[in-house]
Structure 1
Amino acid sequence: MKKIFMVAVISSLLVGCKVDLETKINTDNLLSSEQNIVKGNINFEVSSCNDFEDSRKESKSLIELKNKVPEIFRDAEYVECYKQKLNSFAHFSIPVGVGKVEDGQNTVDTDLMVFSYKEILAGVYASEGVIKRIKQAEKNSHQKMDFSISIILMPGNVKMDKVVALGVTFTGDTSKNDPVLISRIKFGNKPLTFKLSDVSVNQLMQYGMVPFLVTPEYFTLYK
């Protein structure tokens, strides 16, 4: 009976809700061999932040979510619950690794990492452990989570020339939420936002890695 109840709780918390992950990365850190850890923000949609009968109390769904999220994402910390228009969201912070990956080099011990590697100027990595925990939660609820993953790149001192974007929605100076299959991208002095497409998110969950910025030579090496 207890097991059935827990499955029902997980289902009500994680199924059919939006899970928005966003992190800001400086391009100097992205291209640096010295890997770092930055903060990622992850927001889970909840039915309500407050208890229906007593608004001074947290809702049951929020309380259960606060217990469940750290079991899926290591070192996740609850920040706040807020309402945006008609929807409520529970905001958590998680550590995200960032940096250049070399052959034979150990990476920072985080569930998620934004990395560069040879002709891959920017990609997202998800550890085997976090993918397994996500799939287990989805299995318990019999449905998938609706992930949205965005990376905001802050221009640094190191220039990124001849950049090609893959499988993203791009927001920059002259564009907003433009879908990109394959396109050249020019970096200026302002931040650029890259949101992974549904296909890219599925690839990340299946293979544990997906590139979204590459050099033109990438297509020759990996054709």
Structure 2
Amino acid sequence: MSRVKKAALLAFATALIAGCKTTVETEVSLSDLLTSPTKQLAGNLLVEVPACESLEDSRQPSEVLLDVQQAVPGIFSDAKYAECYRKGFNSFARFSLPIFLDKDRDGKLASDSHINLGSNEEGLLSVGVPQKIKAKIVAAQKNSPIGATDLKFTIKVRNDTGKDFTFSALAVFIDQAPHVFSTLTSKAGGAFVVTLSDVSAKAAVDNGGALVLLHKSE
């Protein structure tokens, strides 16, 4: 492993020690899930940091923010630092990154170096984390005394089908309400937010994929 990669992993471990939580966010339409070919989506990676600014000089970035800026692109391909902001009592470093929507049923992810969403006849929405990303996270964890990375996933789904749409939710939160297995309906022109449960998020990372939304049963 190169010195640059080692430095990035050590920096990520530093961020973990500071208690950072990492959330992958993206948005997709129902028409994309149902009919589009494999494509690239826009996404964000939010990393919680203790502070955006240095305590010694507020004009300078904090050490943890600098560590995160260095580390994230080495773990999440094509991630680009965008900003650091405060929301309530929490501060977040935001990175833009591509998310791949995989529509094929070939048993392979659309990208083996990016977060993937999957949709086909067998499942309306799944989340996949390639082995390459998992390996980098595991390598960083070996340098951190706090254990596993707290990786979250949030997906906004827009109903652009022009009609009400019924689906089933599996081990997720829909608009912050928990669902073990529920049949729900999205109103035409509306939207809902899917947040993976801890179990689903862990399955996405550890097992490479987690099915979270199902087609309506006939």
- TM-score class, shorter-chain normalisation, is 0.7 to 0.9
Q: Please say if residues 33 and 120 of structure 2, whose CA atoms lie closer than 8 Å, have aligned partners that are also in contact.
A: no
Once residues 64 and 159 of structure 1 are traced to their aligned partners in structure 2, the CA distance between those partners, rounded to angstroms, is 46
Aligned to 2:182: 183
Q: Which of residues 136, 147, 152 is equivalent to 2:151?
A: 147
User: Alignment length, in residue pairs?
Assistant: 210
Q: Percent identity?
A: 31
SS in 1 for 2:57: coil
Query: Does residue 128 of the first structure (1) align with residue 139 of the second (2)?
Result: no
Match 1:80 to one of 80, 83, 103: 83
Task: Using the TM superposition, name which of 49-58 and 26-35 deviates more.
Answer: 26-35
Q: Which amino acid aligns with 1:71?
A: G
Contact 1:101 1:117 (C-alpha < 8 Å) held by counterparts: yes
- Equivalent AA in structure 2 for residue 11 of structure 1: A
- The CA distance in 2 between the partners of 1:8 and 1:133, in whole Å, is 11
CA contact (8 A) 1:27 1:158 kept: no
The CA distance in 2 between the partners of 1:32 and 1:207, in whole Å, is 27
Any conservation in 2 of the 1:126–1:209 contact (CA below 8 Å)?
Answer: yes
* Residue deviations 1:129-151 (CA, integer Å, cap 9, x gap): 11111111112213112122111
How does 1:1-223 map onto structure 2 within 5 Å?
Answer: 9-15=11-17, 16-103=19-106, 107-108=110-111, 110-142=113-145, 143-157=147-161, 161-171=165-175, 177-188=176-187, 189-215=189-215
Question: Any gaps of 5 or more consecutive residues in structure 2?
Answer: none
| Letter matched to residue 74 of structure 2 | E
TM-score normalised by structure 2 residue count: 0.86
| Structure 1 residues 69 and 216: CA distance shift in structure 2, 3 A | same
Separation in structure 1 between the aligned mates of residue 12 and residue 114 of structure 2, nearest angstrom: 21
Counterpart contact for 1:27–1:153, Cα < 8 Å: yes
Determine if contact 2:14/2:67 at 8 Å carries over to the other structure.
Answer: no
Q: What is the CA-CA distance between 1:110 and the residue it aligns to? A: 4.7
Matched-pair contact (CA < 8 Å) for 2:169–2:212: yes
- Residue 174 (structure 1) aligns with: none
Deviation at 1:81, TM superposition (A): 0.5
CA shift for structure 1 position 103:
3.0
Q: Give the Cα separation in 2 of the matches to 1:91 and 1:126.
A: 19
Tell me which amino acid in the other structure corresponds to 1:36.
Answer: K
Q: How has the CA–CA distance of structure 1 residues 186 and 24 changed in structure 2, closer, same or farther, with 3 Å as cutoff?
A: same
Q: Which amino acid aligns with 2:63?
A: K
**Cα RMSD (Å):** 2.5
Q: Distance in 2 between matches of 1:21 and 1:40?
A: 7
Query: What amino acid is the match of 2:182?
Result: S
Q: Which amino acid aligns with 1:148?
A: K
Deviation at 1:204, TM superposition (A): 0.9
